[in-house]
């Protein structure tokens, strides 16, 4: 396992993206987002996702020259076509535009269609919170999970993000609709371990904590069983309806990797136009304190709020370098044209 | 078990509410909502909840004469104080107002604070969908569930509603953040049964499907473990921040039954201003068909979308009368001053 300083990782990823044909500016922005994901401990969408993005660019699944274009404007809602451009840049453009609308009108909604993988959804929640905005955002995806009561995938895991700005540390939720990601199943299987709780069904319909049989059956479990299944259905429908874009059943026909052609929603609200910054901090602090001060259970030393773990991981990574898998780091170094 | 026609149940509940002091009009609206909940199969918030509401009125926890008052207006967002009035009427007023704003501006948000129990959250989703609107709505509540990693309640179960209008049957999600309601634990225990999946921890921290030990420990499980816990925290924070109202930790201090003083959010969007009604139906149908046509698993005969079961139950109740517990029905008849 390597330990890589933030600046080094960002510079190397940017070189890899430059070699893939991105402009200097685009490469730098995307490299920062991937690096920040690893820095926050979300390795799956950080360094580990660089090679796949480069592959999508080479295959022409991501158009590195496309920019989002305005389709329609209705009050505080705007619809954009992502034109299959770079998912990170499209998502930032959508977030920035929704923030601009919210700065004027209190709330701003951008519905983005025909975009590509936004990588870590939490990126846009943290970004909005850093600017003082409340964010509610989600994406649909290709299907990877059965609806509740089915044994065949028909739902995306449709990551959902909520963020509230808070001076002492933003409260940020970033969750997919499956109980575990396929990446988590793979990592757990390679370690020869079991999942902490059942993660899906084997091919015979038995609920299991063994990752291998779930990877084989593709019967990954929605979080909360029927609840996560229902939530995924609504997120998908709403993303497609509001953006006049594709739902999961249509994304499945594209067959160009993960999330190509997907639909995303960015709702931004300016709390400074409501109760104000001091008030927002008071409320957010009271929620955080209630959670942090509740008695830990038998397996825990402390009780954390969403976003608190990321702050811890950042501090550790800042001191010791970002954790990076040796093989993955070597692969990205190679993509950057460096041999170390 | 009794079978009661819709009109009879509604009339009797309305009489009970009239006797509690509500105006004719208010009694009729509230009676319709309770009856519709039972009609849709959501018994816990239908007939079964009538006596508790009457009790709250008698104790002065619900002010039957209070009306919501406008606190602040910022673009498409309006904040109202519910003045501890009747939760159902406050929630309808908020929904109607958010719909009116959305009819003009595409999106409307009403944040309602200092209200009382809205009974079945889905009521407002179905209502909005019936009028052709997309709805995203939630409430916070007093704490009834530990945060993930804790053994002491610090979270509300914060019901969350999403609705998309669809000609062939609206898609409506209505879910609390706990895997099971305490009502479900009680019913399951009284039948001498186990929960279908683990529903919480016993007092020693063992995950269990036995309802009794969970009722005793108050360690009910968030849906999807850490995911439902995080979602509940964000819903609570956002409800309080946007409405400038109380968060769960402050509601807990009130000690006047369930949800008294709570904060609620109503986001309404008019899809007719976006892709239009035909387009919305096309997308919604495609999602529904994908789900309905996926292969059922070993335990299922069919795969349903959120809101589909309610339509089935309605048909059965229309033909045979609404299912009502004998004891509960007798209690409400007595509250209505009828002896049968």
Residues 291-310 of chain A with CB under 8 A from chain B are: 291, 294-300, 302-306
User: Minimal CA–CA distance to A108: which of A118, A121, A95, A127?
Assistant: A95
- Interacting residues of B312 by C-beta distance below 8 A, sequence separation 6+: none
Q: Mean pLDDT over residues B63-80, rounded?
A: 97
Judged by a CB distance cut-off of 8 A, whether residue A185 touches chain B is no
Backbone angles phi, psi at B20, to 5 degrees: -80, -5
The answer to whether residue B100 scores a pLDDT higher than 60 is: yes
Judged by a CB distance cut-off of 8 A, whether residue B155 touches chain A is yes
What is the count of residue pairs from A and B with beta carbons less than 8 Å apart? 278
Q: Do the strands A207-208 and A160-164 form a parallel or antiparallel pair, or are they unpaired?
A: unpaired
Q: A173, B233: Cβ pair inside 8 Å? A: yes
Question: In chain A, which residues have pLDDT < 70?
Answer: 340
User: Minimal CA–CA distance to B230: which of A331, A16, A163, A127?
Assistant: A163
pLDDT at position A339: 72
Judged by a CB distance cut-off of 8 A, whether residue A224 touches chain B is yes
- What percent of chain B lies above the pLDDT cut of 90? 99
pLDDT at position B263: 98
Task: Give me the residue label for tokens 């003083």.
Answer: B261
Judged by a CB distance cut-off of 8 A, whether residue A248 touches chain B is yes
Nearest to B274 among A79, A228, A274 (CB): A79
The answer to whether residue B339 scores a pLDDT higher than 80 is: no
What are chain A's domains?
Answer: 2-59+309-335 (1.10.1530.10), 69-178+222-273 (3.30.1370.60)
CA distances from B184 to B172, B193, B281 (A): 21, 11, 34
SS3 state at B255 = coil
Q: How far apart are CA B197 and CA B194, in angstroms?
A: 8
Radius of gyration of chain B (CA): 20
Q: How far apart are CA A92 and CA A123, in angstroms?
A: 9
Q: How far apart are CA B312 and CA B41, in angstroms?
A: 9
Reply yes or no on whether B170 is catalytic: no
Query: Which tokens in the block code for residue B253?
Result: 């201090």
Per CB-CB distance under 8 Å, the chain A contacts of B76 are: 75-76, 105-107
ipTM over 0.90: yes
Q: Do the strands A200-201 and B77-81 form a parallel or antiparallel pair, or are they unpaired?
A: unpaired
pLDDT at position B49: 96
Q: How far apart are CA B72 and CA B101, in angstroms?
A: 14
Task: Report the helix count and the strand count for chain A, using DSSP H and E.
Answer: 12, 13
Query: Which tokens in the block code for residue B182?
Result: 């305490």
Q: How far apart are CA B218 and CA B216, in angstroms?
A: 6
Per CB-CB distance under 8 Å, the chain B contacts of A233 are: 171, 173, 287, 291, 305-306
- What percent of chain B lies above the pLDDT cut of 70? 100
SS3 state at A261 = coil
Query: Which tokens in the block code for residue A114?
Result: 């025909």
SS3 state at B262 = strand
Answer whether B271's CB lies under 8 Å from A242's CB: yes
Helices marked H in chain A — which ranges? 6-19, 24-39, 50-59, 87-105, 122-130, 182-190, 211-217, 226-243, 248-254, 277-292, 308-320, 326-335
N-to-C CA span, chain B: 15
User: Minimal CA–CA distance to A124: which of A167, A90, A84?
Assistant: A90
Model confidence pLDDT, tens digit, residues A144-169: 999 999 999 999 999 999 999 999 99
Beta strands in B59-212 (DSSP E): 69-74, 77-81, 107-115, 134-139, 145-146, 153-155, 160-164, 171-175, 200-201, 207-208
Per CB-CB distance under 8 Å, the chain B contacts of A219 are: 297
Model confidence pLDDT, tens digit, residues B239-254: 999 999 999 999 999 9
Q: Mean pLDDT over residues B99-127, rounded?
A: 97
Judged by a CB distance cut-off of 8 A, whether residue B192 touches chain A is no
- Interacting residues of B186 by C-beta distance below 8 A, sequence separation 6+: B211, B215
- Interacting residues of B25 by C-beta distance below 8 A, sequence separation 6+: none
Query: Which tokens in the block code for residue B50?
Result: 């009538």
SS3 state at B174 = strand
Judged by a CB distance cut-off of 8 A, whether residue A318 touches chain B is no
Could you tell me the pTM of the whole model?
0.98
Answer whether A121's CB lies under 8 Å from A259's CB: no
Q: How far apart are CA A226 and CA A223, in angstroms?
A: 8
Answer whether A287's CB lies under 8 Å from B247's CB: yes
Per CB-CB distance under 8 Å, the chain A contacts of B148 are: 303
pLDDT at position B340: 57
Length of chain A equals: 340
For the four alpha carbons of B67, B68, B70 and B73, in that order, the dihedral sign comes to: negative
Q: How far apart are CA A63 and CA B328, in angstroms?
A: 63
Q: Which of B45, B117, B170, B317 is catalytic?
A: B45
Model confidence pLDDT, tens digit, residues B301-325: 999 999 999 999 999 999 999 999 9
Nearest to B224 among A76, A223, A286 (CB): A223
Backbone angles phi, psi at A251, to 5 degrees: -60, -35
Q: A149, B274: Cβ pair inside 8 Å? A: no
Query: How many CA atoms are closer than 13 Å to the CA of B89, on its beta-carbon side?
Result: 22
Q: Mean pLDDT over residues B286-293, rounded?
A: 98
Q: A106, B75: Cβ pair inside 8 Å? A: yes
Per CB-CB distance under 8 Å, the chain B contacts of A289 are: 249
pLDDT at position A340: 56
Q: How far apart are CA B124 and CA B33, in angstroms?
A: 10
């Amino acid at each position: 396992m390597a330990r890589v300083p933030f600046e080094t990782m960002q510079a190397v990823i940017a070189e890899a993206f430059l070699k893939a044909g991105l402009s200097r500016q685009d490469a730098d922005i995307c490299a920062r987002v991937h690096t920040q994901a690893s820095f926050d401990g979300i390795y799956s969408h950080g360094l580990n996702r660089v090679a796949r993005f480069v592959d999508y660019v080479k295959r022409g699944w991501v158009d590195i020259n496309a920019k989002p274009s305005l389709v329609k404007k209705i009050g505080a809602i705007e619809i954009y076509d992502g034109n299959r451009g770079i998912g990170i840049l499209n998502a930032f453009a959508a977030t920035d535009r929704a923030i601009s609308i919210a700065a004027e009108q209190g709330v701003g909604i951008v519905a983005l269609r025909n975009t590509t993988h936004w990588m870590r959804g939490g990126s846009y929640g943290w970004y909005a919170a850093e600017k003082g905005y409340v964010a509610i955002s989600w994406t649909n995806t290709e299907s990877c999970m059965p609806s509740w009561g089915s044994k065949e995938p028909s739902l995306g895991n449709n990551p959902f993000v909520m963020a509230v700005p808070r001076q002492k540390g933003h409260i940020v939720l970033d969750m997919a609709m499956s109980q575990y990601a396929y990446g988590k199943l793979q990592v757990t299987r390679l370690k020869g371990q079991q999942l902490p709780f059942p993660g899906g069904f084997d091919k015979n319909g038995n609920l299991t904590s063994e990752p291998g049989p779930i990877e084989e059956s593709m019967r990954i479990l929605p979080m909360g069983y029927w609840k996560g299944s229902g939530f995924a259905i609504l997120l998908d429908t709403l993303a497609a309806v509001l953006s006049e874009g594709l739902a999961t059943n249509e994304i499945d026909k594209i067959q160009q990797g993960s999330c190509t052609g997907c639909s995303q929603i960015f709702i931004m609200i300016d709390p400074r136009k409501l109760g104000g910054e001091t008030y927002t901090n008071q409320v957010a602090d009271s929620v955080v304190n209630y959670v942090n001060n509740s008695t830990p259970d038998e397996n825990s030393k402390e009780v954390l709020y969403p976003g608190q773990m990321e702050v811890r991981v950042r501090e550790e990574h800042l001191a010791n370098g970002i954790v990076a898998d040796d093989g993955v780091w070597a692969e990205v170094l190679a993509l950057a044209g460096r041999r170390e």
